[in-house]
Amino acid sequence: MFAQGGYWHPATPHPRVQEQRSAVRSHSALYVDAGYLLSSAATRLTGSSLRRGIEVNYTALISALTEVVQRDSGLPLLRVYWYDAARDGKANPVQEGIALLPNVKLRLGRIGVDGEQKGVDLRIGLDLVGHSRAGRIDVMYLLSGDDDLTEAVEEAQAQGVQVTVLAVPSSSMRPHGVSRHLLHSADGLDLIDPAVLDRTVTSTPAPAIDPPAKTAAVEPTVDSAPIDEVVPPRPSPAGVARLVPPLTTRAAASHEGGGQVQSASRTPAELSESMNSVARKTYSAWAATASAGQLNELRAGRPAIPRDLDRALLVDLSMVLGEFELSDSMRFGVRAKFWEAVNNA
């Protein structure tokens, strides 16, 4: 079955699935790149990929995604594989809660000294290939946009497995942050229904101006936790948006964020405005949940920018410009705009 834009969306089980049903029970599986899901959901809601700007009802979200996969594939879900990074590879309280959810397998990489994920993509790729060779999964759903997973997808397909990319929609209902190569290799593309994200992802409440006296710490729960802690979900059925417009041929199509233009074609004024916009949104998302002490600490540490903020600035500018590599002048420029946003707040 073909939807608008030429994407194939399997309305019926894969032919190989139908052939095996009489002999072996077939299954589907969902592979979730939490970094992609959370940063994309944060961008959709706050305009910045900074994960601390949102809270997620993980039980509800995972349940909704599970229903999408089972309905779309026509097969029972074997398991949800949840991939994220953690300090020293040790699960935090939210990740531990995710691991306790039914039919969810937590797979952790590490967070490097520079704040970047280490080993997450490798774990996803190894599982895609290993599970396809084991022959227990016939339909895989990959919730990620990483170009580095393209070869793993192709290897899984070579083993007779169907692989569909599941993506977070942008405001223009296009796949946010998904590599063009990954899209071309996959058997199909589905967008998460915006209604699912609207009811499971919310902005992080701002802290009280005059916080009360310190009380016993409350452990974050899986049902509602800030994004910096990592992710998971459950209640009502959710759907996927199937009508996806054709991808633009511009380089920006690799990482959809809403009609970007290649930076090479931008005037200096347009580039400056893009940097301004990214800097303002990133600072606003961070400041919305920062205490007075954290705000003072940020200003006192100038010109150093905390790693999570700096990474969000560079990732978001890369998305807006449609470029994987930013020049030194772009990096320096967006950081300068960030401090302008701080001063003007």
List pLDDT tens digits, range 309-340.
888 888 888 878 877 788 888 989 889 989 99
Q: Render pLDDT for 125-183 as a digit per residue (tens, 0 to 9).
A: 999 999 999 998 999 999 999 999 999 999 999 999 999 999 999 888 899 989 999 99
What are the structural domain ranges in the chain?
15-241, 260-344
Quick one: DSSP state of residue 30? Answer: E
Per the listing, tokens 């990954």 go with 182
**Regarding beta strands 54-56 and 117-118, do their DSSP bridges make them parallel or antiparallel, or are they unpaired?**
unpaired
In sequence order, the β-bridge partners of residue 188 are 164
Average pLDDT of span 191-213: 78
Q: Render pLDDT for 77-118 as a digit per residue (tens, 0 to 9).
A: 999 999 999 888 889 999 999 999 999 999 999 887 666 778
Per-residue confidence (pLDDT) for residue 80, from 0 to 100: 97
Contact 72, 190 (CB under 8 A): yes
Determine how many CB atoms are found less than 10 A away from the CB of residue 241: 16
When mean pLDDT is compared over 29-43, 217-231, 292-306, the highest value belongs to 29-43
| Mean pLDDT value across the chain | 79
Among the listed residues 45, 142, 98, the one whose alpha carbon sits nearest the alpha carbon of residue 231: 98
Class of domain 15-241 as given by CATH = alpha beta
**Regarding beta strands 188-192 and 240-241, do their DSSP bridges make them parallel or antiparallel, or are they unpaired?**
antiparallel
